[in-house]
């Protein structure tokens, strides 16, 4: 087997080329490809963060719109609006004054901008109680039931006994 110089040059070129290709593959796998995978992962994380920020922004905008709506409702109240007097008037209009006890209420974590009233009703017909609640929610003065502590039949068997707390915003 007599090899010529060209055959040897060809063989050396092939070996060097093969080594160069293997070296390039190792280099690409360890260097740029790893950086590519890392940047792809960072891009995915950044995109997820962007989605979270956009979602948070949307929630805050909706919350702001709700707050603005509430403030518009509050601004529509008469300037001399008194929560206690208004609820007392509703009790008179629904003929519950003689069966109701109305007191100011203050929860431990409540804000002065959220006045509360506690109402104790005794022996009230369900119809009048429902009428009272309907009036609370149908008027545009932004009143709500904060909690209902007790709702049970009266001991005499006529009507119901109820303790509820109303809240509004100043």
For the chain, 170 residues long, the average pLDDT of each consecutive 10-residue run is: 77 90 81 82 94 95 88 81 84 86 75 81 88 84 83 85 86
42 and 64, same domain (yes or no): yes
87 and 161, same domain (yes or no): yes
- Give burial (CB, 10 Å; 0-12/13-18/19+) of 122: middle
Containing structural domain, residue 39: 5-74
pLDDT for the residue numbered 156: 83
Q: Domain containing 127 — which CATH number?
A: 3.30.70.60
| Number of domains the chain is built from | 2
29 and 59, same domain (yes or no): yes
Strands 160-168 and 116-124: antiparallel
66 and 133, same domain (yes or no): no
pLDDT for the residue numbered 1: 53
16 and 49, same domain (yes or no): yes
160 and 87, same domain (yes or no): yes
- Picking from 54, 74, 94, the residue at the C-terminal end of a domain is 74
Exposure string over 132-152, b if 16+ CB within 10 A, otherwise e: beebbeeeebbbeebeeeeee
pLDDT for the residue numbered 22: 87
- Picking from 74, 96, 119, the residue at the C-terminal end of a domain is 74
- Count other Cβ atoms within 10 Å, centred on residue 113: 8
| pTM of the predicted protein model | 0.58
């Amino acid at each position: 087997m007599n090899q010529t110089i060209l055959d040897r040059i060809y063989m050396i070129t092939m070996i060097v080329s093969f080594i160069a290709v293997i070296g390039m593959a190792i280099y690409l796998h360890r260097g740029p490809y790893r950086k590519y995978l890392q940047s792809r992962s960072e891009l995915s994380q950044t995109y997820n963060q962007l989605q979270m920020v956009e979602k948070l922004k949307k929630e805050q905008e909706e919350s702001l719109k709700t707050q603005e709506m509430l403030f518009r409702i509050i601004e529509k109240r008469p300037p001399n609006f008194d929560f206690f007097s208004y609820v007392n008037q509703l009790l008179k209009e629904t003929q519950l004054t003689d069966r109701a006890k109305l007191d100011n209420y203050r929860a431990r974590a409540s804000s002065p901008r959220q006045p509360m009233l506690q109402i104790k009703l005794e022996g009230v017909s369900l119809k009048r109680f429902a009428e009272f609640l309907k009036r609370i929610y149908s008027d545009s003065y932004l009143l709500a039931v904060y909690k209902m502590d007790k709702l049970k039949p009266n001991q005499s068997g006529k009507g119901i006994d109820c303790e509820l707390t109303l809240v509004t915003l100043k």
